[in-house]
Every structure is written in structure tokens, then in C-alpha cells.
Structure 1
Amino acid sequence: MEGQRLGGRYQLESRVGGGGMAIVYKARDLILNRPVAVKVLRSQFGTDEDFVNRFRREAQAVASLSHPNVVGVYDVGQEGDTHYMVMEYIEGYTLKEVIIQRGALPVEEAVRIAEQICDALDHAHQNQIIHRDIKPHNIMIGKNGRVKVTDFGIARAVTSATITHTNAMLGSVHYFSPEQARGGITGEKSDIYSLGIVLYEMVTGELPFSGDSPISVALKHLQEPLPEPRQVNPNIPQSVENVILKALVKDPFLRYASAREMLEDLETCLFPERLNEEKLTFPIDEEMTRVVPIITPEMMEGHTHGRTGGGQRSRQEPNGDDEEQRPQKKWWVKALLWVGGIGLFFVLAFFGFNFLLNVVPSVPEVPVPYVEGTEVSLAEKKIQEANLVPQIVEEANDTMEKGMVIRQDPAPPMRLKEKAVVTLYVSKGQELIDMPNLITLPRATAEETLKKNGFKLESVKFVEEEDDKAEVGTVIKQSPEANEKVYAGKTSVTVTISKGKAFVTMPDVRGKSVEAAQVELFKKELNVGEIKKVPTYSTDKEGEVLSTHPYDPGMQVQKGVAVPLTVSNGQYPQDAKSAVAPVYVEVVPGETLEVKIEVTDARGDAKVLYQEAIAENKEYDVPVVVSPQKDALVKATVKRQNETEFKEYQTIPISYNSLP
């Protein structure tokens, strides 16, 4: 849809993003001359009432909010089956792109971002709006550092409608709250849980729960304990981990009572007196790990028999007569057997322990020497001198020279039994790898691919280039080429990203012939669209271009756009009337006059039909064309030899109603 205009004022320029329901374009508001973001519902959903209603609900939800951390909505419209929403344009990146590019963020920055998200959620909750899809993809970070929450596409007002429909759970599973995964009621605390996941990802660089399928991830949200953030990143202060733990507790009743309460905790969590506070703990949820048995038909049958009335019993149920006939054991026999068994166990355990102490010699413990950063032969010698056994594992490394110990396992202050194994991970230097193929990948995916292959994104150069074929934001060129042998840590990489089709300035071809207009358009790499011939008052020349609407002269349009031409068919409209006005000019013998005759009629204003010098009397037949909306006026002026200006000579008005 690039190059199109919506609502007569929003010129779509380039695609900047999109999801399963809608596509987002950068556009220009031609009336206010400002950039805007236009969210267009995908064409396949334009006739789907459910999607249209959800799209409208997003606009209503955001329009009811006014907050510096919530993206603003300016306008909503529809053209045919195209539904669109005009929003504030944010120049920057999504939080997900920032995390992919930079990994774990500094704790101070992560807390600042979380505070702004929390403030936005508090405002939304105060207005009874639940977002239900908080994730880094829906958080924009402007170039000024301002955080904006966007994409309220599945937001709902807090009503009975907040219950998630069966088999139609909405949102992103990696950021689901347990109650969302369970298909229950989604309220303010679901947003708080999702924000906790976002904060976890910001400070650790990874998600707490992942899996091979959405179902497996949802089950982990329900059943598995949270991997503690400080185990992933020990640099996280305990106070910040406590905020995450409280936001991500599975029981919503133990979470923050509101987004305001979480915001107040975030605002103080980096105070010096809180950094090393005690770790937050919660009671263990026995329901979390309970295994529900499979109910078999036999169990159902037994259950049914057990509930039958009258004299019927289950086949396993003993009757009273059997119990009376069964011989009873004396209680003291059972007690004696128990006491004897326990005593025998302790006697055997005592003698066995003493036997092991006397037979098995004890092995002394020795401290593990520190050998990281040393040459492998010297490291082996130190390990052997400590009566330990070195085990070498080689791996590629960009920073350590070949033959140097990268790390060891275990490391000091660990103590081991003599002859225990210490694993030494030794650098075999930088390793040549095949350059991955990035062509056609979106920029975020290309960055993630490079990162997985060991490239540092700060050393990768990204450039943008116009391309008539590739989708905006995808890779069109790379250097080095795919499958070339490269060093991930040293080779400089340049990735070229498509800016989409180039834009050109629309030329003014009005008044030209169709052929001349085609030449001008082709020079700008524009095509000629539909040619429509219409009657007009403005000209009687057949084939003269009258208009190029909707692509007006001076407008920025994409290359390759087909420009429609409206041209004259050489005739006046049917309601036009023509007449001839006689103008007689007398000249004094021996004198020369310069005559100018102007006509104002349906064809235009003050058009000069005659201008010449005459030395004798002359009569002019001046043609005029009038319409129901415009009469004619013929004005004749003359200028004598010794005069510098034309003076009025004769004026003839002709009205539409005066003509037959």
C-alpha cells in the first residue's frame, strides 16, 4: 500500500512493522504536515466482524487514555474494506530490538524503563483498561529515551468479558501470566506478571521460560519454579530481584496489589539502603506440582458401583460375614515384630559403618590451584603438583590466545579429593566459520543470527538503501557473502537493509498532451495509469491533460506508481452555450491604435484573444462560452501612439440566460 493516500490526507510512505492482525506504515499527514504511524487492518480481516471489532476496540481503548508513556491515537477511518488507525509516530526501536542488539541491559536503565511502563499501566488500570499483551515487542523506546506502550490490540475494559475464551487465548505465550495460560480471568495482575517477565528479560538478556511449543511454555508458567534472576546475572541487586520475584509469583494474590504499588517499589529499589536487603520468599504452592491421575473406565466403573443403592456392592467390597470368619492376629505379636526389625537394622548399620572405617582408607582433600589465563602446559603442571588430574577440553575463543586456559572447573576456593579431575578449557584461537546467509531476513532476525554465530553487533555496520523489490526492513546485500570463511571476532561485516521503493517528486504535466505527459512521467520512473477523457470548459484541445489526481504536482510518490490522467475530449459540457460578441474599433485617419480584447467566461478569466496594432477601422467577432455558473464579459482596450497605458474602449456583458 506504499504510496497510497487514506482519508484524503494520510500519504503512506513505508512499512515499519506489523503483526498477525495489522500492518503499520510510516505516513505523512498532508494537512498538518507531520509524520504519523498508520495501522492498517490486514485485507483478509477487513470483512471479518470479529477482527474489525477488535481493531476498533484498540482505538477506543487507547483514545480513552492520555499519558506520556502511552502512544497517542489521532484518527480512525475506513475506506471500503480498509480499516485504519492514525497514531503518534515514534522515532526509535522496540524494546525487543534493543535487547537483541545489546543483550542484558544495565540494571539502572532496565529499572527506569520498567518504571515508565508501570506508570503507563497504572494509568490504563485507573481507566479500567487491561492491556493483556505486555511484551518488549509492544514497548517503543524513542530516540529521546521516552518509553511508549503501544499495541492495545487485545485490550479490554474490566468487565465480565475479560474472561479468556476457551481455545482462543490472546497474547504472547512467553509473557503469559499463569491465569492467562490456565484460561481464567485476566486482570490488572496479569499485566503486572507480564511486566515482571519483561523486567526479567531486560536484566538477564533471556526469558525465564522457553520450550519447543506454546503449550510447553504455558505449562512452565503454571508448574515450574522461576529461575532466579541472580543465578543468571549475579550483578543484579537483591532489591531488584525481589521486585521481579514479587511480580512473578504464580499466586496472583501474592503479587503486587496494583501497578502503582509496583511503581513505588521500583522507584526505591536502587536506593543504597535497599540494595542488599533480605531475599523475598513466598509459601510453597502445593497445587503447583500436584500430579492429577488419569481416570480410567475401570475407576469410573468402580466409582459407579460404590454409589449404587440397595444391597449392591463393589466386587472388592468385603461383606461382614467374611470379616467375622477371618482370624485376628494378636496386637502384641505385631508390636514385637516391629521392635525386633528396627533393632536389627541399627545393629547392622553400626557394624557396617565401623567396618568401612577400618577397611577403606580416607583420601585427603587438597585445594584446587587457580590456573585461568595461564599457558596450558604450566597449568597442567600446577594441577599435577596438587595431586589432581588435569583434563583438557579445547574450544574456539576470540579473546584468548591459542594454548591459554580460558576457564577451569572446579575453581578455587573449591577443595577436592586427591586424584580428582579438574577440567581445563583451553583456547584453540579464533575459528574460521561460514558467513551466515542474511539475505531476505528482517533486520532483527539478521542481528540475532549474527549474534548466535559469535559476531559483536557493535562492529557490524548497517546501512539502508532503496530497493524497488525487497520488503522494507529486510536484508538485500551483505559483505562478506554467504558461506565465505570468516573470523567472527575480527572480520568487518556490512549489512544493507532495504528502505523500500524510492520516492520521487510528482511533476506538473497539466496543460501538456498525453504524449508529452508520458515522457515527463517516464523520466521520473513513473507509469501512466488510466486515461480518462472528459468534457471541460478550460480548453477545447483534445488530449490536453487536466488533472493527475490523486497524485498532485510536488507530492512525494513511490517509483513505479501508475499515475491516472484526466484529459480533455475536445468538447464543452452539454450545458455550455456559445455566442459571438461584435466589437467595432474606429481609427482616426493617419493614426495607429494598439487594440487588446480580453474575455472572461466559463473558459477562464481575462484571456487575451486579440492584441494588435491597426491603422484603419476594424470589426472583431469575439467568441464566448458561458455556463449556468458563469456569464461572459468582453473588454476591449486601446492604446494610442503617445500613450503608455491601455484605456477602456468598450465592455460587453453577456449573460447565460440571455442566450437561446
Structure 2
Amino acid sequence: MIGQTLGNRYELLARVGGGGMALVYKARDNLLNRYVAVKVLRQQFVHDDDFVRRFRREAQAAASLSHPNIVSIYDVGQEEDTHYIVMEFVDGANLNEIIRERAPLQTDEAVKIASQICDALDHAHLNQIIHRDIKPHNILIGYNGRVKVTDFGIARAATSSTITQTGSVVGSVHYFSPEHAKGVATGEKSDIYSLGIVLYQMLTGRLPFLGESPISVALKHLQEPFEQPRKVNPHIPQSVENVILRAMRKNPQERYASAAQMLSDLETCLQPQRLNEPPVHFGSDDDPESDKTRVIPAIRPDMRNTIEAPAIKGGAAEERWDNRGLEDKPRRRWVLPTVLGIMAAVLIGVLVWAVIALKGSLTPPDVMVPSVIHMKLDEARAKLESVGLKVEEPPLYEVNKEVEPNTVLKQSKQDIKVKEGSLITLTVSKAPDLPPMPGLKGLTLEESSSKLEELGVNPDNIRPKEVFDDSEPGTVLDQKPAEGDPFDPENDAITLTVSKGKEEIDMPNLIGKTEAEARAELEKNNLKLKDDKVITEPSYMAEKGKVFKQFPAEPNEKVPPGTEVTLYVSSGYPPDAKEPTWNVTVSPAQEGQQSTIKIVVSDAKGDNRDYWDAPRKISQTTTFPVTLVLGPGKDGTIIVYRDGKEIARTPVPYEDMPADATDAAGGTDATTDASGSDQPPAGDGGQTDGQTGGQGNGQ
């Protein structure tokens, strides 16, 4: 069937498994673009109407289960003579393969697997579904470690004839519970017994019961004890062995009361205080004959005469059998048949009378079937039971978006009289099967949004959440719901955690700050001082103790938090620096009226820099001292602006300054006169309508 497409949707790609009743294929769901598993009923059963009907009913029942440890059933269909069930595809191996390759498993791994199986069984039992075929072949383990129980309902759908034909009894007899082997009704505790055997096999690498035939194995389940796990594998803790012993009791009453109780025991059995607890003890263990098969003794040769001819005291027996006695006794062979005939006639008459007399009392009364449509399932069940009717379990489920889940949509009988105790089949609504959330990690936000919109997600429900990360900006780092979780494309909000690139901050301006101020600024901005030291060297750019250079970034450049910064702190001006002070005399444009004065200087500290932080206001002739820093090859210039216009430009050559002009307080006292009315500036002397002159030290 590989290459065939079922339901114009499921393309069969490869066969991945199979059993006596069905074959399993890996397939692609072309509608939702995902891989699924398709179980196809074998051809020899497609004409067994009873089997097909129960097969579909049980598949629908299994589809009602929604649990992370149960393989989800997506669809049930039929195409001509092909009946199939579509279910979740688990990428991994079954537990039987893992046991065959690695058994005995580590205790914590085996307990973890058993706990997930137990959780799945508890969910199924709460929904009135018994698996009845728990075995390693039906336990799938994905590569992510998630355990999935499969084949819910299929074993219950088999008729007695198909069990014989498919050989499923043979395949599962090693995991049968004693009550299953007897052929009596099985319940939740039968699944618990089978899970106990699976845990036994995981921890020991062997089955508790083996035999030459299925019948001999079934008899051992009923009659014989099994070898205790710790005798096979001494590394098993006593607390874990106690779980196995309780789950595998032949008497169902001595097993766990429910899968939830067994799960609770599994969750604590590896706690340190429990590892060496005493072996579990059962009351029936005190009766040595309670679990043993009683054997009828064989007939010995020396007993034959006693059985065939018992002795009679006084020789009466001998007298009865001598020739003379037989001849003297009259023959009355008609008496016994006559008596027996009369007794039989009387007995038959009594039975006929009893049947006629009791017929009325044995026939159940008629009851009216009430309508339970639009009721919740629990309410409908209670109402039908209140009039003496029963609900067929499990109910049938039908997808209906317009009706709240678990609401009765249809019932098999309504507003008619039926016998008390009759079964009523209910069809109940359920929510649509939700698709699994696709994996979006590593994609861009744009790619993720497109993929979600193809599944029907409203763009308004896609909510990006930006965080700093080393990944490329726009890369999806996390998602909610997680990959594989079921979600509603029409209603669920989807949160995508998206990278906005590496975190960056603005490099602060440290130029002109003291070392202490610079350190404090670095710490405030989550930056570091490289090697916790600074580089001190002479500089024309800053006075002693001030930062004149920072590396590796200039102020306001973007850097990541934690960047290491190197500081260069001035140890003072170089030895050959000169610091002459030049007195600049400036007059207002008109005496008595206010003018705005700005002085711009160029020297070794920089070109065309404002000498003051803000212009000065004068209304009379004023002299301002201007100190320059000069160096070899770097002369100075003083430019005076009045009301925005240049009125004087005075060069201050380095060579013309005396060698001792290095003290800002007592250096060269030269004068630049920039008084008078607005006139174009003079060249090389700064001549204006006033006088500009320069005088050296001592003038």
C-alpha cells in the first residue's frame, strides 16, 4: 500500500510496524503538512461486520483520551474495503526494542518510564477505558524521552474468533493477569498487573513466566510464584521490588487499588529514606495453602479392592454372593426404573409450575426512555439511570464546534418504552482535534509568522517579545505554546521570544574628568577599567589629573555591557610647553551700550575652541586675561568677536615666548587692544580702529 493516499489526504510513505490485526504505516498528512501514523485493518477482517463496528467504536473511544503519554488519535476512516485509524506519529522506538538492546535498564530510567505509563493508564481508567494489552510492544518512547502508550481499544474490539486467528493471545500471554488467563471479566487491576510485568522485565531483562506453550504460561500466571526481582538483579532497591510485588499479586484485591495509587508509590520509591524499606508483606502470605494448587492424589493399587468391594461385617457380603443366596432371591428389576420415572415426572412438573409462576416476576417492567439531548454527559447518565436504564460505555464522540464539549447530541432510543436495564447509546460532542504547535525556534520572526498564518493563526495573536541575545536580530529563541503541544489556531495567543541582537549602551564621555570621576562613571554604566589601572602620560589636551583620552570607543559610540576601557590621564603638560597669559582689551561697539564678546583660541590643546563656556557682556572697555598652552611647532592664535563679528586676530608664536613662560599665574603679560568701532580685522597684527600690540615678559 506504500504510495497510496487514503481519504485524499494521508500519503502512505513506509511500513513501520504491524501485528496480527493491523499494519502500521508512516504517512504524510498533506492537509496539515505533518507526519502521522496510519493503522490499516488487515484484509481478512474487513468483511467481519461485528469486528469492524466494534473496531471503529473502540477507536472513537480511544480518541476521546487526551493525555501527553497517550498516542493521540486524529481520524478514523474507510476507503472501499480499507478501514484505517490515523494517529500521532512518534519518532523513536518501542520499549520492546529498548529492552532487547539494553536490559536490564537503570532503576531510575525504568521507574521514570513506568511512571509515565501509569499516568496514562490512570487517565484512561478515569475515562472508563481498560487497555487490556499492556506490553513493551505497545509502549513507544520518542527520542525526546516522552513515553507514549498506544493501541488503546484495539484489543477490546477483537472477537473470540479473531483472537484465535491473529494469535494475539500468544503474543500477549506473557503479560496476562490471572483473571485474564481465566477468561473472566478484566478491569483496571488487570492493566496494573501487566504494568508490573513490564517493570519486572525492564529491571531484570527477563519475563517472570515462560513455558513451552501459551497454555502453560497462562497456567503459571494462575498457579506458580515468580522469582523475586532482587534475586535476578541485586541492584534493584527493595522499595522498587515492593512496587513490582504489589502490582503482580495474583489476587486482584491485594494489588494497588488504582493506577493513581501505583503512580504515587512510583514517585516516592527512589527517595533515600525508602530505598532500604522492609519487604512488602501480605496477609495471605501467612496461609501457606492460599496460593497453591491443590492436587488430587492418585489411586494406588492397594486401594482398588477397598473402592470396588468394601468389606461388610459379619460376612454379609459373602452370603449375598453365594449361589444359593442368588437363587433364593426373587428378581425385581422393574422397581428401580419405575421409581426413577415417577420422580422425574414429579420434578418436571414442579419445574414447569415454577417457570409459569415466576415468569411474571422475572420479566423486567417496561420504562419510558426520557430525552437527554442537550444535557451534559454526567447529567444524562444520571437521568437514564434514575429510571432504570444503562448508558453503553464508552459513549460515541462527534466533533461539533457549535456545542459545548461533553454535551449529548444523539441517543439511540428516545420517547419509547423499553425493558428496564436496557442499554442506551449516547453520542456526545467533543472539541475539534487540535493540531500540534510547529517548531519555530531558529527561524526568523517573519518566517515564523508566515508558517503560523498558513495554519490559520490570526496575525494579531502572534505576539513577539524582544530580548537581548547573541543571535541575529529577529531570530526566534523560544515559543509558547511549546513545540508539539496542541493549540487552537483560531483563538490561542502565541508568544515568540525574539532576539534583538547583542545589548549595547552609549559610551560615556570621560574626557576632562578626574580619575575618580571616570571610574565612577564606568561603574554606573556597567563598564570595566582594563586591568584596573590607568595610563598616565604628559598631554597638551588636559591639565594634570584629568582624562585626555579613552579607548576603545569615543563618547556616545555603542558598546556591549562589560566592555573594558583604557583611560589616559594627564600627568601635566610636557616639559617644553609654554603657558603665556595674554591680556585682551576690548571696547563695546558704542561706549555705554552693551556688546557681546566671544574669544576663540587655537593652541596645543586644540584649534578654534571657545575660551569661555558662554560669551561675556560688556558696556565699557574691559581687559580679559587669556592663557594659552603652546608647544614646539604649535603656535597660538586669539580671535575676538564682538556682537558676532570678528574684530581682532592676534597670533602668539611659540618661539617668541620666553623659555620661562610656563606659569599660568605669572607668565608673559602681553596685551591685545581690540577697542574702537566695528572695522574689518587687521592682518598679522590685529590692527583695528584701536591698537593691537604684543609685549613680552618684562615689558
- Say which one has the larger Rg: 2
- Please, what TM-score do these two structures have when normalized by structure 2? 0.41
- Please, what TM-score do these two structures have when normalized by structure 1? 0.44
Q: Which is strand-richer, 1 or 2? A: 1
